[in-house]
Structure 1
Amino acid sequence: MRVPMTEYLLIDLDTERWLCRVCDHDLGDARGNYKEGTLVYDRDPREIHQPIIDPQRYEFTFSPDPTYCRILEFYCPGCATQMETEYVPPGHPPTVDMLWDIDALRAQWQKRGTDPMTAVAYGPGDDVQRHSHAADAH
């Protein structure tokens, strides 16, 4: 039984594995941190939040200082879908944003007797259009 956990992550309760919802790539033990199975891009925050004022003239430019802040982007190794982003101090390990009681999750869905992949709503209208990142590559 597969349970959607985020837009791009699911847990396969039969194998107890994190999987990418786009390409089914195995990201690791569902009782652990899925981020350990991803590719991580450690970004300089100035790439995302460019200085508002001239960094040659001013020490503080409204752009995060890379000696205090890094942006970690987590990607699926199978399809390169970006799964998560977090702001952390340099050298800080990735945060653990989800830990699930797999046994309780399995029992909950067995009791419901429905398929989680069709039962989980995305929002109003529930008409989700999937897209491919392959078309974005040039």
Structure 2
Amino acid sequence: MLIDLMHMIREDTQVRVAVLSVVETVTSAIPTTLDAAALSQMVDRGQITNAIVDGPLAFDNAISLFAAEAKCISSSVSGNADILVVPDLESGNMLAKQLKYLGQAVMAGIVLGARVPIILTSRADPMDIRIYFLCTCFIYL
């Protein structure tokens, strides 16, 4: 559903999805790397369509082509990720707040998959951010 929303927002581009983990190599010692590899494999099987999905990728490799090249990682997602899939709610919450407060990112949080989109706001969000949330939901409807 998020891939579909990205296609609605940016019609002419291929959506690139980075599935994040703490490391970029698959190891049974870190279950999130197995999950990321499984999601990447689902693209090859046609279970996830209309996107390029790669993982596991550490955050630096997902957002920086330089970091990926320094680690000899070859990925069409590295440095071009449109969507960052996080391993769990806690890491997602931390990443979102870091992007917002350290990187001045503008973000709209919505939950897709319910009968209607659900807006996620923070008590600290100013009115213009809340309007971004509403606009994003209307695009999806």
- TM-score normalised by structure 2 residue count: 0.25
Structure having the higher strand fraction is: 1
Structure having the higher helix fraction is: 2
- TM-score normalised by structure 1 residue count: 0.25
Higher-Rg member (1/2): 1
